[in-house]
Structure 1
């Protein structure tokens, strides 16, 4: 795997890759939330949040997946394991995480629990998670009512504010997994009473089958049954596909059995098909219904029920084992030794991943970021045709259901890296591309599999479009997958000493189809200026760009056009790499080179009938609104939309140019014969540092500032602390609009954009108002990469004031390093021991049992860096792991 001597974990990754040992058969593939998802929604109007609620989730069988608390499953999610808890006061067993739906939260969906992913190896041979469980009754109703009362203008009402953690009256419940073999999993659960008094705790390590037999497919029903075991209780497991397993629980736990079937009587007042149902353990424990569980000790759901009185400051430990092998002594001396060994092997693996000098704090941040990425894998099953048609054994869905009706080819059953398994328990195509960079640092094979999977025929539409996310597969995400494929290829090349050319070529062929879809569908009039809808940048625009405009007409988008320019350069770079061994690809390289020139000309052209995305007076790119009658108006919002042109930059090495003579000949022809095109892309003719050439939308001069020097003019705003340059990274919206709101009038209505450093008060896109806040990791990361590429060409002689007006001049590598430093400090303790990510939250800032556990939010407050939005978005915020490596290796 690496150029160093491989660790045991590296050897396991090799064995899994080669198909010799299935070390990834079991992993954290359970969702954190299956209720409230599109897959489980069979309503007429597509009200997924309301159709299958949290209140129903305890008693209603899921159709397409399962959820659980810090749980695991096999790679087809046939057999699941997770913990359930009861503090003697809650109205329901704590089997899954609670949070507010988009309709309930004052700023959209929001999990209202405290849980942390602390460690994981890529093969999941060692995993550790933490759930903080209050000893007081969980305030379900209060959280809903208070958040709705506060409205969009108010702050979110959080669980800590309810007082249920006062005086440390809670349990820290640590769950550790260690694999003795690919199908031999040790589980240790440690419950620590942080409170001042002894308190009872019911712990139910629970095993169950995903319900695949109730939907009319004549699937053979699996079975769990009590068996004799040494040193504790045992459950025999038989599944027609998974085979036979054994589950062992330490002495002291009472085995309970029921069925993973809907309790129709509780939910709908109708008769149950069988006496034992999904919420039987809840009835048995919280209601004293002894007849709810099966006395025959057989079923499709089972648990070992432990009742413990935990003294203040004390820890109670429960050990369990899930194995294909029948063990005479499942909890012998090997149990502790395997657990200890796997912890040590995890340490050795991560030390080799980042062998650079790092502070303890930064290494901890990176390790938890990796843990979050690896824990957030999920089995994703969705057959859209079957979902639309309904199941033979169930009432037919309403005929008016129409969501995703044009995506009936999509039939998935894969392990996919999710953005956040509670708030976003479904893949998002462009999120996934960003996940792959830090994933490639620890498991290049899995990272490659993610990019390959999303471009396969059962995901990609026959017309070439990639699916966005299950709420609307037909929405448009930025085309970043060629960039991700190239970066994963280069990361693996660095880590392993060799890149996977077969992967690169396979993905390239499929992305050609997607590129063609963009050209044919999103260039309205063939002008090489593109539309694309909201492209992830809602709530910083004037309109909802995915909806019909109130003015009619359409938008010519600076960001969409720039993404396409970047896409051209990414495919150009890949085709040049492939052309080193296969000259056929030189023709493809020429195609993308020329297409980039045409897009650059359209972006930069001034005068005449051009769309004129560039505003020469402001020195910035804007969207342009085209009215039905042909008039145009720039929408002068200073936002990330106008910074994305910086992403379209590429350098050409002289050594590479010698290796592709046909491409070089074509480039030189353009230099000689098309001066009208070359002027807009910088330096095809002029050689930079190391005799390199550069292609870029925002070109630059090395001498005095010229009116055409777009790079300098944009950077002046980018690095202005009163505009984009925040203390914790680049804001998505300029602070300029705090004092100068941009307003546009149409049909007697005024549309305004104001700078808001945290959640937006607008419900612009999909009813959520917590989207795409001011500091956003993915675009910050792309800006850093772009500045490094500009420096690669321009060298140390090109300097810019950073911050603008400070009198401090930096080259562009130093600027990129400074942005990295500001992003990293979001998570690092300052001189007072505070982490900006936690803002004014004193519990997280001061309490020793909280302050070193990290949450990786969706985005961050533009002025103070506090985390906002989805709290477990280790998906793209996991880029912090890659930034930490780069900072220590090259910049820190």
Structure 2
């Protein structure tokens, strides 16, 4: 056994800052950096175990075997404790191995709840007045990239949890009313709750120390039950014949501690895993004083499917719940099963006092006093995490900003999941003797039979969105590159891998409908992560860039063939993630044959062209063949960008000269058209298509330079409207932007205008001008709504009619910085109102970045805008420094809205702090 002093050796030395690189340079790596270098394979080493368990597996598409595709109702929260999951487990602060064979998670009971707290509760989409929504308070406080140290806080009320009231109140509220939250029930009055902190620290890659501390924040003694759970995911009961099962049993050793041993030696290896994968024996050590409980991870058939169905095993999944809550005698007296727990009962935890339990999950047999090392290991790994994040935080960030950045990164790292989904098997069913209803095959994802995932993936949110989403993942990887470049690159490659990317070239959108269209930001993320990794590692990963580039070419071709209906380089796009920003559902084809030509779709494609051009030029540094592809995408950008203004013998364009803005155009079959005069992100997205080519930089690329010059000379009228040559201090730069200089002035004036797009907390998704002047089309209207949406489209809890969204703000900031570098003082943003001064583009970028950071930072009164009028979050010392990273934010006051843990892309605040605090 290693001693603590051996564990602590090679402590990291201080870091210094390199202004030229805009990042910290380590004079010696921290211990976490060393682990990152050692553990590049997530099937072994330091990455093998992590928080790869969903917060919610119930009411997901993967677990939906209904005839009508109603995932919300097929497996609701009330049945989750009783039905074995087919595709993945859930739990509170749970961990598992990379393939989720074995899972550990704590469960709790306050002696009053009607349900053992094994998983987080929330509303399904039909129940919530603004869609699905978790109704719990939990926080990801810390996490290292290899998960050598993790810390999670759960606030558990001492009063009976108000399940029915939360459902009933929200169900009866209109969309014009706010959500009814857990704090609104007064269940936390008088601080009658437990702060339960769960910490994990790896003694070694296969040896995990666990510490659970529960502090009574209330004024009175309160009971608490803690049940650490260890169980096997059910992989044996789905086929025509059950296969051999793993086992968990009690063992007695020389130590006074309790010990459970899990054994997967009898478990049949999964055929889809390319190598034989086994965990071997695992020893779970726990302190004496608890009562071991055993059952099997099997469905309680009568409860789930009705009294006419018999259980396959006498002991089923919900046995521990029934034992504590109902007093049933339903656990296995032989103390063996596929699911086990140890029940610790604390009759009365005194006010301000805490109870602490220590555990250890290890592959090492015969440890003497195994729990003695738990506290020392946790303290050591916690200190190493501090040292690691000292190398991440920028030097001028305040203590508050460092706290925000660290929790954002921790929340992102906690949002990994072992994403298990074989679409073909899901569609056809495991057992040919009991096939699922035939109607399922035509509801969703029937064209994605090739998609088969056994990967650890980053997801937007493990409760509300416990599945990968293509454009969310792109932004997540940009943030991951701050702390784990290898993981960021692997994730981006995954969606281009043959088991994900469709043979036709489409990238899967998200689980509810893989065929839906997300904005084509994947190429941008590949290019950005490549450069971030190159700067941080000091080495350019050309192999990664080249592999991704080849698959991105296929994806680009799919877009061209799929959505450029008339070959005019104007794209219809469809949904594109901006759920309800317009008056129609953009996923639906119009019955009368009309089509919507979209400014945002065409803007995204212009951006796609420019990124592919830059990647091709980067690859051309070593292989001149890529210059031809760079030329191709430069020319394609010209055609796409020019088409937005006028091309294809049309008598209209997406740019509106009168308003100085880009609009969608509805084109009727008889040639009539109508502009959707909605000033929204749809019209700002063309600004994302920005790149600059410096004459001196492109000079070595002879073929590309010749093609560039030819095109500028022979297609000058077309090219000069979207390629703007700037000469400053003897340097010639070509600014590639869809907007000409006059259009840039007009558009950025609207962006900086507080009466239109500029909020105190970022850029609104819809101009505030539509508050008093809504856009009306037939019987529908688009009105500025700074908070939650009144219209229910795409689930009902996603609003693009006013609130602030971090990913689009992030892209706008990046575009303005590029414009600033290209034009310098030659061009800027004019004043929006009399008395305002002209503003350089880079200053406008900084202003937006500062406002987005401001969403989370304490203001002069010590209040965080993200928490609005919530007194608990604003003033309580046990709440005020805990950060939730919401899906989007109130357009006028910055209050957090939508999913409360959508760290997936709101973690971009960590990148903003990184880039604007050096």
- For the structure 1 residues 476 and 816, does the alpha-carbon distance in structure 2 shift closer, same or farther, using more than 3 Å as the test? same
- Tell me whether 1:26 sits opposite 2:49 in the alignment: yes
- Tell me whether 1:249 sits opposite 2:278 in the alignment: no
Cα distance, 1:639 vs structure 2: 0.3
- For the structure 1 residues 563 and 770, does the alpha-carbon distance in structure 2 shift closer, same or farther, using more than 3 Å as the test? closer
Counterpart for residue 895 of structure 2: 866
Report if aligned partners of 1:380, 1:414 keep a CA contact under 8 Å in 2. yes
- For the structure 1 residues 689 and 282, does the alpha-carbon distance in structure 2 shift closer, same or farther, using more than 3 Å as the test? farther
- Tell me whether 1:818 sits opposite 2:840 in the alignment: no
The within-5 A match list for 1:519-558 is 519-549=560-590, 552-558=593-599
The within-5 A match list for 1:282-293 is 282-289=321-328, 291-293=329-331
Distance in 2 separating the partners of 1:377 and 1:808: 46
Distance in 2 separating the partners of 1:635 and 1:871: 32
Report if aligned partners of 1:761, 1:769 keep a CA contact under 8 Å in 2. no
Counterpart for residue 258 of structure 2: 233
TM-score scaled to structure 1, two decimals?
A: 0.96
Which shows bigger deviation, 601-610 or 779-788? 601-610
Cα distance, 1:220 vs structure 2: 2.9
Report if aligned partners of 1:248, 1:330 keep a CA contact under 8 Å in 2. no
Q: Please give the per-residue CA displacement for 1:765-793, whole angstroms capped at 9, x wherever unaligned.
A: 34545567520000000000000000011
- For the structure 1 residues 354 and 689, does the alpha-carbon distance in structure 2 shift closer, same or farther, using more than 3 Å as the test? farther
Q: Please give the per-residue CA displacement for 1:853-886, whole angstroms capped at 9, x wherever unaligned.
A: 0100000000000000000011000000000011
Distance in 1 separating the partners of 2:178 and 2:433: 42
Cα distance, 1:233 vs structure 2: 0.3
Cα distance, 1:690 vs structure 2: 3.9
Distance in 1 separating the partners of 2:504 and 2:157: 51
- 1:374 paired residue among 402, 413, 420: 413
Counterpart for residue 756 of structure 1: 785
Cα distance, 1:503 vs structure 2: 0.3
Counterpart for residue 861 of structure 2: 832
What SS is found at the alignment partner of 2:230? strand
- Tell me whether 1:723 sits opposite 2:764 in the alignment: no
Distance in 2 separating the partners of 1:47 and 1:55: 16
Distance in 2 separating the partners of 1:684 and 1:668: 12
Distance in 2 separating the partners of 1:78 and 1:653: 53
The within-5 A match list for 1:774-813 is 774-801=803-830, 804-813=833-842
Report if aligned partners of 2:131, 2:795 keep a CA contact under 8 Å in 1. no
Cα distance, 1:393 vs structure 2: 7.3
What SS is found at the alignment partner of 2:724? coil
Distance in 1 separating the partners of 2:510 and 2:801: 16
Distance in 1 separating the partners of 2:637 and 2:302: 63
Counterpart for residue 169 of structure 1: 192
Cα distance, 1:20 vs structure 2: 11
Cα distance, 1:334 vs structure 2: 2.8
- For the structure 1 residues 553 and 90, does the alpha-carbon distance in structure 2 shift closer, same or farther, using more than 3 Å as the test? same
- For the structure 1 residues 483 and 804, does the alpha-carbon distance in structure 2 shift closer, same or farther, using more than 3 Å as the test? farther
The within-5 A match list for 1:233-382 is 233-240=258-265, 241-267=278-304, 268-269=306-307, 270-289=309-328, 291-308=329-346, 309-382=348-421
Cα distance, 1:292 vs structure 2: 0.8
Q: Please give the per-residue CA displacement for 1:713-753, whole angstroms capped at 9, x wherever unaligned.
A: 101111110000111000000101001010112xxxx2210
The within-5 A match list for 1:409-558 is 409-549=450-590, 552-558=593-599
- Tell me whether 1:116 sits opposite 2:155 in the alignment: no
Distance in 2 separating the partners of 1:20 and 1:626: 52
Cα distance, 1:332 vs structure 2: 4.9
Q: Please give the per-residue CA displacement for 1:304-359, whole angstroms capped at 9, x wherever unaligned.
A: 11001311100110000000112423545432221111011111111112241211
Distance in 1 separating the partners of 2:565 and 2:658: 27
- For the structure 1 residues 470 and 538, does the alpha-carbon distance in structure 2 shift closer, same or farther, using more than 3 Å as the test? same
Report if aligned partners of 2:784, 2:802 keep a CA contact under 8 Å in 1. no
Distance in 2 separating the partners of 1:772 and 1:731: 8
Cα distance, 1:691 vs structure 2: 2.6
What SS is found at the alignment partner of 1:31? coil
Distance in 2 separating the partners of 1:99 and 1:18: 35
Which shows bigger deviation, 348-357 or 5-14? 348-357
Cα distance, 1:657 vs structure 2: 0.6
What SS is found at the alignment partner of 1:436? helix
Distance in 2 separating the partners of 1:527 and 1:606: 7
- For the structure 1 residues 734 and 772, does the alpha-carbon distance in structure 2 shift closer, same or farther, using more than 3 Å as the test? closer
Distance in 2 separating the partners of 1:716 and 1:185: 55
Cα distance, 1:552 vs structure 2: 3.5
Distance in 2 separating the partners of 1:797 and 1:684: 12
- Tell me whether 1:36 sits opposite 2:36 in the alignment: no
Distance in 2 separating the partners of 1:731 and 1:689: 39
- Tell me whether 1:50 sits opposite 2:73 in the alignment: yes
- For the structure 1 residues 157 and 554, does the alpha-carbon distance in structure 2 shift closer, same or farther, using more than 3 Å as the test? same
What SS is found at the alignment partner of 1:559? helix
Distance in 2 separating the partners of 1:691 and 1:114: 55
Counterpart for residue 223 of structure 1: 247
Counterpart for residue 746 of structure 2: 713
Report if aligned partners of 2:211, 2:374 keep a CA contact under 8 Å in 1. no
Q: How large is the Cα RMSD of the aligned pairs?
A: 1.7
Report if aligned partners of 1:152, 1:769 keep a CA contact under 8 Å in 2. no
Counterpart for residue 705 of structure 1: none
The within-5 A match list for 1:67-216 is 67-216=90-239
Cα distance, 1:611 vs structure 2: 4.3
Unaligned runs of 5+ in 1: 701-708
Distance in 1 separating the partners of 2:223 and 2:731: 70
Which shows bigger deviation, 736-745 or 652-661? 652-661
What SS is found at the alignment partner of 2:94? strand
Distance in 2 separating the partners of 1:805 and 1:884: 32
- For the structure 1 residues 3 and 699, does the alpha-carbon distance in structure 2 shift closer, same or farther, using more than 3 Å as the test? farther
Distance in 2 separating the partners of 1:47 and 1:437: 34
Which shows bigger deviation, 620-629 or 237-246? 237-246
Report if aligned partners of 2:110, 2:223 keep a CA contact under 8 Å in 1. yes
Distance in 2 separating the partners of 1:79 and 1:320: 16
Distance in 2 separating the partners of 1:479 and 1:114: 34
- For the structure 1 residues 753 and 330, does the alpha-carbon distance in structure 2 shift closer, same or farther, using more than 3 Å as the test? farther
- For the structure 1 residues 394 and 805, does the alpha-carbon distance in structure 2 shift closer, same or farther, using more than 3 Å as the test? farther
Which shows bigger deviation, 211-220 or 428-437? 211-220
Report if aligned partners of 1:716, 1:804 keep a CA contact under 8 Å in 2. no
Counterpart for residue 8 of structure 1: 31
Q: Please give the per-residue CA displacement for 1:9-59, whole angstroms capped at 9, x wherever unaligned.
A: 000000012789610000000000000000000111100000001000011
Report if aligned partners of 2:789, 2:796 keep a CA contact under 8 Å in 1. no
Cα distance, 1:275 vs structure 2: 1.4
Report if aligned partners of 1:32, 1:68 keep a CA contact under 8 Å in 2. yes
Counterpart for residue 10 of structure 2: none
Cα distance, 1:655 vs structure 2: 3.9
What SS is found at the alignment partner of 1:40? coil
TM-score scaled to structure 2, two decimals?
A: 0.93
- For the structure 1 residues 224 and 333, does the alpha-carbon distance in structure 2 shift closer, same or farther, using more than 3 Å as the test? closer
- For the structure 1 residues 316 and 393, does the alpha-carbon distance in structure 2 shift closer, same or farther, using more than 3 Å as the test? farther
- For the structure 1 residues 321 and 468, does the alpha-carbon distance in structure 2 shift closer, same or farther, using more than 3 Å as the test? same
Cα distance, 1:656 vs structure 2: 2.7
